[in-house]
Amino acid sequence: DAGVIQSPRHEVTEMGQEVTLRCKPISGHDYLFWYRQTMMRGLELLIYFNNNVPIDDSGMPEDRFSAKMPNASFSTLKIQPSEPRDSAVYFCASSLGIAQTEIYGYTFGSGTRLTVV
Amino acid sequence: SQKIEQNSEALNIQEGKTATLTCNYTNYSPAYLQWYRQDPGRGPVFLLLIRENEKEKRKERLKVTFDTTLKQSLFHITASQPADSATYLCALPSYNTDKLIFGTGTRLQVFP
């Protein structure tokens, strides 16, 4: 298994532009998560999906952020318009299960380093 | 809300020694706790999960303890090697949800 695959690895964009980050989770994993990591705030959960359905998006910072999961093998995180404070590393992760009766560790992708200038 | 505290200062130890990292949490006691390793430029990698009814868990040179009275987990690496140098993150579910929240991590440096 190739693990969780994210693209692009690096993205540099100008303020105001639309940015789309992509993620392919591990096949068979029912849960998909989007996290953002910065030096100041560490790893923050933005949104997560269960069986392609968004379950909790309370971590999405603003309406400028949106996420979709059109099928079990693909998810996107979009920022429109982007701002310099969105600069961070964005991670996608997937898991077999998160219920307390059936918990598994998360498998993270290598992340997308986003720089908004 | 739940807070996780990990020592932000780097831990420097000599090869062969045991490294001990600390994770403290406030407020409610979680049903489980996880530890991850993160190398520069990479995503976190899952290492161990320990449940509240397990006092200790081992995996090769790794050992994790979970003390719900002290609200603390300790992560030990025995016979440490330079290849163990990385940042180690603890994570636990947020109160009354299944959302996993992470500490900011402790950087471990093992020198020869």
Query: What distances in angstroms separate CA B87 from CA A37, A84, B60, B70, one per listed residue?
Result: 13, 26, 19, 23
pLDDT at B110 over 90: yes
| The pLDDT of residue A30 | 93
* B7 inside 8 A of chain A by CB: no
pLDDT at A62 over 90: no
For residue B104, give how far its alpha carbon lies from the nearest alpha carbon of chain A (Å). 5
Spell out which residues of chain B touch residue A34, defining contact as CB-CB under 8 Å: none
A vs B, Cβ pairs < 8 A, gives: 51
Which of the two residues, B58 and B98, has the higher pLDDT score? Answer: B58
Spell out which residues of chain A touch residue B42, defining contact as CB-CB under 8 Å: 110-111
| The pLDDT of residue B104 | 94
| The pLDDT of residue B94 | 87
The one-letter code for the residue type at A110 is S
Instruction: Kindly state the average pLDDT of the residues A18-25.
Output: 98
pLDDT one-digit tens code per residue, B6-42: 988 899 999 999 999 999 998 888 889 999 999 999 9
Nearest CA in chain B to A38: B104
pLDDT at A83 over 70: yes
Which of A33, A35, A55, A103 would you mutate first to test chain B, the one with the most B CBs within 10 A?
A103
Spell out which residues of chain A touch residue B100, defining contact as CB-CB under 8 Å: 33, 45, 98, 106
Q: Which of B25, B27, B81 is nearest to B50 (CA)?
A: B25
SS (H, E, C) chain A: CCCCEEECCEEEECCCCCEEEEEECCCCCCEEEEEEEECCCEEEEEEEEECCEEEECCCCCCCCEEEEEEECCEEEEEECCCCHHHCEEEEEEEECCEECCEECCCEECCCEEEEEC
Nearest CA in chain A to B44: A108
Which of B57, B62, B92, B102 would you mutate first to test chain A, the one with the most A CBs within 10 A?
B102
Interchain contact, B99 vs A42, CB within 8 Å:
no
Q: What is the DSSP letter of B83?
A: G
pLDDT at A58 over 70: yes
pLDDT at A5 over 80: yes
pLDDT at A104 over 70: yes
Q: Using CA atoms of B88, A51, A101, B74 in order, give the dihedral in degrees to the nearest 10.
A: 0
Instruction: Kindly state the average pLDDT of the residues B53-80.
Output: 95
| The pLDDT of residue B96 | 77
For residue B112, give how far its alpha carbon lies from the nearest alpha carbon of chain A (Å). 28
pLDDT at A1 over 70: no
Per-residue confidence band for A116, with pLDDT thresholds at 50, 70 and 90: very high
